[in-house]
């Protein structure tokens, strides 16, 4: 694939997390780095994300999207699964091991991420309400349950199902969204698992690339 036909992903023009790598393009960047696939990035603003051109690519007006030779995808899980089928390095070759790794992708996105994102969202929608503290405590308890179950399963293994896979890539990025809650610190093995993911050279390249977008977009000091 030459430069003229590089796949293109979308990412926030102005990173809401100030370059901490919490946005979902980080997952796709990391996967692209793991498989060694160069790519281009098109930056979108919160305004352009709601315009028809972007909605044609992503019906829910979010990032990331992925375009390649006439194929347009959205949803980080679907994009990473697509990359995993085109390249080696994200899923085991053996069919049963592959199905188990895919299971961890879905577990990250449908079982572990929702209560974490909900805790985050509650602050946006109800952070100024007198009852927010009570709601927050309830939502934290749900996250605690999920983290305890995940920690019990991981035990002292390095990755969720023997070798590193797209399931771990997804789970590490999901757990990173709980970093600011302090809840991850209850489980040393989960904290070490996240650190192990972040130590991968592909993660570090992806992180540096998304951070650069933020640094470039930041207004310069006078």
Distance, in Å, from the CA atom of 104 to the CA atom of 148, rounded to the nearest integer, reads 16
91 is a contact residue toward its own copies (CB under 8 A):
no
Number of CB atoms found within 10 A of residue 56's CB: 10
Query: Which residues within the stretch 141-180 sit at the binding site for its own copies (CB under 8 A)?
Result: 142, 146, 149-150, 152-153
Q: Which distant-in-sequence residues (6+ apart) come within 8 Å of 70 by Cβ?
A: none
- Residue 192 CA to residue 126 CA, distance in Å, equals 32
Question: Binding to its own copies (CB under 8 A): which residues in 107-136?
Answer: 107, 109-111, 113-114, 117-118, 121, 125-126, 129-131, 134-135
74 binds its own copies (CB under 8 A): yes
Residues in a beta bridge with 68: 71
Residue 112 or 206 having the CB closest to its own copies: 112
How many binding residues for its own copies (CB under 8 A)?
45
Cβ 50 to its own copies shortest distance, Å: 10
Which residues are paired to 222 by β-bridges?
A: none
Torsion angle defined by CA atoms of residues 174, 177, 182 and 185, in that order, rounded to the nearest 10 degrees:
30
Decide whether 124 or 201 has the Cβ nearer to its own copies. Answer: 124
Q: At what angle do helices 166-176 and 188-198 cross, to 10 degrees?
A: 110
Q: Which is nearer to its own copies, 131 or 201 (CB)?
A: 131
Specify the residue, 152 or 195, whose C-beta has the smaller distance to its own copies.
152
Binding of residue 75 to its own copies (CB under 8 A): yes
26 versus 109: smaller Cβ distance to its own copies: 109
60 near its own copies, rule: CB under 8 A: yes
* Region label for 23, one of left (φ > 0), alpha (ψ between -120 and 50) or beta (otherwise): beta
Q: Toward its own copies, which CB reaches closer, 134 or 212?
A: 134
| CA separation for the pair 106, 174 (Å, rounded) | 11
CA distance 194 to 173: 8
Binding site residues, its own copies, CB under 8 A: 55, 59-62, 70-71, 73-78, 81-82, 96, 99-100, 102-103, 105-107, 109-111, 113-114, 117-118, 121, 125-126, 129-131, 134-135, 138, 142, 146, 149-150, 152-153
């Amino acid at each position: 694939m030459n430069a003229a036909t590089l796949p293109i992903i979308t990412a926030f023009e102005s990173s809401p997390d100030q370059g901490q790598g919490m946005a979902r393009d980080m997952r796709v960047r990391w996967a692209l780095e793991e498989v060694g696939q160069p790519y281009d990035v098109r930056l979108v603003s919160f305004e352009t994300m709601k315009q028809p051109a972007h909605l044609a690519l992503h019906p829910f007006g979010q990032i990331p999207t992925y375009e390649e030779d006439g194929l347009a995808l959205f949803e980080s899980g679907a994009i990473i699964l697509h990359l995993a089928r085109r390249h080696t390095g994200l899923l085991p070759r053996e069919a049963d091991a592959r199905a188990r790794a895919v299971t961890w992708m879905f577990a990250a996105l449908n079982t572990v991420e929702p209560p974490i994102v909900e805790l985050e969202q509650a602050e946006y929608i109800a952070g100024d309400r007198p009852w927010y503290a009570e709601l927050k405590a309830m939502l934290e308890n749900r996250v605690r349950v999920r983290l305890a179950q995940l920690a019990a399963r991981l035990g002292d293994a390095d990755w969720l199902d023997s070798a590193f896979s797209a399931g771990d890539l997804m789970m590490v990025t999901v757990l990173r969204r709980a970093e600011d809650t302090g809840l991850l610190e209850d489980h040393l093995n989960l904290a070490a698992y996240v650190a192990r993911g972040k130590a991968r050279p592909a993660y570090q390249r992806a992180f540096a690339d998304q951070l650069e977008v933020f640094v470039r977009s930041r207004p310069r000091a006078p």
